[in-house]
Structure 1
C-alpha cells in the first residue's frame, strides 16, 4: 500500500511539475499583443463629436509657447501663428497629418523576443511614472527612490511574463546632478532588462549623451538606428493647450537621433483639463493631434505614440484619483480615439491610490487594467507597481501585478466560439455511456493549459490545505520571490567591454 501511494504521489508531483514548467508560445493562454477592443464606452456618434470638438479647439484656440524651432516647423507645415503667439491648426492640416502618420510601430527590445508590434487593438502592459518614493512593505513606510531601486525594478520586470516593457517608473533621488541622473536612468534600465525601455530627459542637451551610451550598448549607431530599443517619454505639452518649450526641444533631438517618441498629454480633469470625462478626452486628443503634426513636420513618418494620459481628480480634495472608475473610463475612451485615427496609442492603467499592496490596491489596479485591455489600448502604462497616485513604487506590487495583468489579459482574449469549444461531442461522450463528468477527458486535458491562466503567487488552496502548509501569506511569498530574483545575476547585464566603455564615458553610480 505504501509503495502504491508513493508511486501515485510521485506521479502527481511529476504532473504538477510538468504543468508548472514554462509553456511554449503556441500553448500559452495569454501573450503580449493580444487583441482587445471588445469594450467601447463611446458610441460612434460620441467618437465623432469628440473628434470634431478637438478640431474646433485646435482651429479656434490653438496652443501657446512653442519654441522658435517648433514655430518654424509647424508654420512651414501649415499651422498659423496668431498675433497672440498661439499656433492654430486648420482642419485640413490635422486630417492630412493623420492620413500620412505612421500607423504601425515596432518598439524593439534588446532581445528580439520582446519586440512589440503596435497596431490595431493589440494590447501591451508595462511600467511607467516618476515616483519619488519607494514603498517599504516590511516597515509599512515610504523612503526616497535610488538608482539601485530603479535597476532592481528593471531586473524584476525582465523575468515577469506579463510585464511587456519597462518605462522608467521612478526618479533616482540619490543622484543630484540632472545629467548624471538621466544617464544613470538609461544605464539602470537597460542594464536590468532586454525589454523595450522608455525614459525622459531633463534638458535637450542631454539627449546627445544618452545616444552615445545607447550606441555603445547597441554596438554602433547603425545598429541602434536599425533597432532603437529605448523611446522618449515626452511631456511636450503643459495642459491646458500650451507647448512645453524645453520638452519640445528634447523631442526634436530624439527624433533626429532615431528614437521613437511617446507624445504625452497628462491633464488633470478639473484642474488642467475639463472636469468632465468627455471634455478631458477632447483636450488630450487635441493636444496629441498637435503633437502628431509637430513630429511629422520634423520628420514625416517618425514613430510616435499617441499618448493621451488624462488623469482623474477628487474634486472634494484636489487629490489625484488614479485608481478610480473615472480613470478607467478616461483611458478606455482614449483608446477608442486612437482606433478612430488608426494610430498607435497609449494611456494609463493599473494606478492605485492605496499606499500599500492591499485589497484597495487590488481592486483599483484590476479595474483600470481590465478596462484598458478590453478597450484595445496598445500600451497600458503605469500598469504595475504604482501606489499613492504615482508618488510611490513598490517592487512587491510589481511582482503581484504579473498575476493581476495575467488575469486581465485572459479577459482581453475573450471567449472563442467554434465547433470544438462548443463541446457538443464532448457532452455526448460524457453523458451517453461515459463517466458523467469531464475530469480527465481528452478535451479537458488537452486544453487545461491553453485555455486557463494560472496565478504564480495567487493562492487557490482549500482552507485545510492552507492551514496544513503553514498558512502562507501572500506578501511574505512575494518578498521571498523578490529576493530570489535579485539574488541572481541580471540576464540583461552588459558584457565587460561594453560596461567598461560606458563607465569610462559616464559617471555610473551603480557598482560594477
Structure 2
C-alpha cells in the first residue's frame, strides 16, 4: 500500500508501471508455445534463372580475375595449398571457379544448433526460419529514462526479454552495447549474462583469437560437454562481415576459421552499400556481395569440410546526396530477395 504522503505523480507513475507489468504477464501467459515457424508460401523470386546465372557468372569472374584480399597469413597459406593464386605482398587471392563451387558444395544445406537446453534447438534449412535480436546498437530508449548509452543492466534486461518471448528464437550479438563495461572484458561478462539469463542459442563475436576461444569454452562448459562432444555438432554461431570492397580482415577471419575448425556455425555477411563501397546498382552490389561471401565460404570449407556456414546478406544503399547509409528502402528489400535466390542457388541456409 502506498504511503499517505507520497506525491500524486509518483503514485500515478507506480500505478502505470503496475498496470504495464500486469499486461506483460498476461501477454506472456497467452503467447504461443515455443515452436520455431515454417514458411507456408514459396519465396519471392524477383529475377529468373537467367538472372541468377548472370550474377553467378559475374561473381566467378570477380574471384578469378580480380580476387579477394585476405588479410590473414594463415588463410593465405591454406588457400595457397588449395591451389589458389596467392600474392603474399598484396594479400590478393584469385580462385578458380570450379574449385570454388567444389568447396561450396561441401557446405551443409541443413544446420541444427543445439544450445544448453536441447528443447531450444533451432534449424536453419529449407522452409525453417528463426528470429533473433538485433546486434550492437549503442543506445537504448525507454519511457522512464529516455534515450541514453547502453549499460550492462540494459543489456541484461534485453536478454531477459529474449528469454521471455517465444517468438525470439536466438540471441544474436549484443541487443545493446553495455558501454559501462571495458571492451577488454566485455565479451566475458556479456556471454556470462547470456548463458545465465537465457537457455537459447547464443552468438559470439569473431574479434580475434582470445575472444572467440573464450566464447567457445564458456558455451562448452555451460552445456556440460566434453571437447569432443562440443566439436561434434553446432552449439553456437558467429557472424562475420567483409571489409568491402573485396576484403576480409584479420580478426574476423581468425575467429571464423577457429569456429569452423570446431564445427560451429559461421554466418558470412558482406557489408556492401550500393554507391559507397559497392557498385551503385543493386545487381552490381549483389555480384560483389556474392563474390565476397563465396570466397570466405570456400576458405572455411578448406579449414574443415562440411563446416556449417550460412550465406548472409547486408546489401543496401546510401543517400547519394549525403553518403548516409539507408536501411529499409525498396532497394534493400529487393537486394534481400535476390540474395535469398542466390543462397538457394548454392543450397545454403540464408541470413537476411
Match of 1:112 among 99, 113, 118: 118
Match of 1:54 among 59, 64, 80: 59
1:194 matched to 2:199? The reply is: yes
> What's the Cα RMSD here?
2.2
The 1-side partners of 2:317 and 2:135 are apart by 15
Mapped contact 2:36–2:122 kept (Cα < 8 A): no
List aligned pairs for 1:69-88, cutoff 5 A: 69-82=74-87, 84-88=90-94
Give the Å deviation of 1:45: 1.4
In structure 2, the residue matched to 1:332 is: 337
Give the Å deviation of 1:59: 0.6
Give the Å deviation of 1:151: 2.0
Mapped contact 1:182–1:201 kept (Cα < 8 A): no
Match of 2:105 among 64, 84, 99: 99
Which of 1 and 2 has greater Rg? 1
Mapped contact 1:35–1:123 kept (Cα < 8 A): no
Task: State the Cα deviation string for residues 437-460 of structure 1 (Å, max 9, x = none).
Answer: xxxxxxxxxxxxxxxxxxxxxxxx
1:67 matched to 2:72? The reply is: yes
In structure 2, the residue matched to 1:425 is: none
Mapped contact 1:262–1:307 kept (Cα < 8 A): yes
Question: CA separation of 1:303/1:65 partners in 2, compared to 1, >3 Å: closer, same or farther?
Answer: closer
Give the Å deviation of 1:215: 2.3
The 2-side partners of 1:220 and 1:113 are apart by 16
1:176 matched to 2:209? The reply is: no
SS class of match (2:68): coil
The 2-side partners of 1:157 and 1:172 are apart by 16
Mapped contact 1:305–1:344 kept (Cα < 8 A): yes
List aligned pairs for 1:247-326, cutoff 5 A: 247-326=252-331
Give the Å deviation of 1:207: 2.2
1:123 matched to 2:136? The reply is: no
In structure 2, the residue matched to 1:214 is: 219
Question: CA separation of 1:339/1:282 partners in 2, compared to 1, >3 Å: closer, same or farther?
Answer: same
Mapped contact 1:33–1:117 kept (Cα < 8 A): no
The 1-side partners of 2:188 and 2:217 are apart by 10
Question: CA separation of 1:183/1:121 partners in 2, compared to 1, >3 Å: closer, same or farther?
Answer: same
In structure 1, the residue matched to 2:10 is: none
Match of 2:246 among 236, 241, 244: 241
Question: CA separation of 1:298/1:124 partners in 2, compared to 1, >3 Å: closer, same or farther?
Answer: same
Give the Å deviation of 1:61: 0.7
1:134 matched to 2:126? The reply is: no
The 1-side partners of 2:233 and 2:179 are apart by 30
Mapped contact 1:33–1:116 kept (Cα < 8 A): no
Question: CA separation of 1:322/1:221 partners in 2, compared to 1, >3 Å: closer, same or farther?
Answer: farther
Q: Note the residue ranges of structure 1 that are not aligned, 5 or more in a row.
A: 1-16, 348-512
In structure 2, the residue matched to 1:467 is: none
Q: Note the residue ranges of structure 2 that are not aligned, 5 or more in a row.
A: 1-25
The 2-side partners of 1:198 and 1:312 are apart by 27
The 2-side partners of 1:170 and 1:77 are apart by 40
In structure 1, the residue matched to 2:167 is: 162
In structure 2, the residue matched to 1:360 is: none
Structure 1 residue ranges, 4+ long, deviating more than 6 angstroms after superposition: none
Task: State the Cα deviation string for residues 320-373 of structure 1 (Å, max 9, x = none).
Answer: 2112222111111111110111011212xxxxxxxxxxxxxxxxxxxxxxxxxx
The 1-side partners of 2:263 and 2:281 are apart by 37
The 1-side partners of 2:79 and 2:41 are apart by 35
Report the count of equivalent residues: 322
Question: CA separation of 1:35/1:166 partners in 2, compared to 1, >3 Å: closer, same or farther?
Answer: farther
Mapped contact 2:113–2:235 kept (Cα < 8 A): yes
SS class of match (2:345): helix
The 2-side partners of 1:261 and 1:97 are apart by 15
The 1-side partners of 2:197 and 2:118 are apart by 16
Give the Å deviation of 1:176: 1.5
Task: State the Cα deviation string for residues 386-444 of structure 1 (Å, max 9, x = none).
Answer: xxxxxxxxxxxxxxxxxxxxxxxxxxxxxxxxxxxxxxxxxxxxxxxxxxxxxxxxxxx
Question: CA separation of 1:301/1:135 partners in 2, compared to 1, >3 Å: closer, same or farther?
Answer: same
Give the Å deviation of 1:131: 0.9
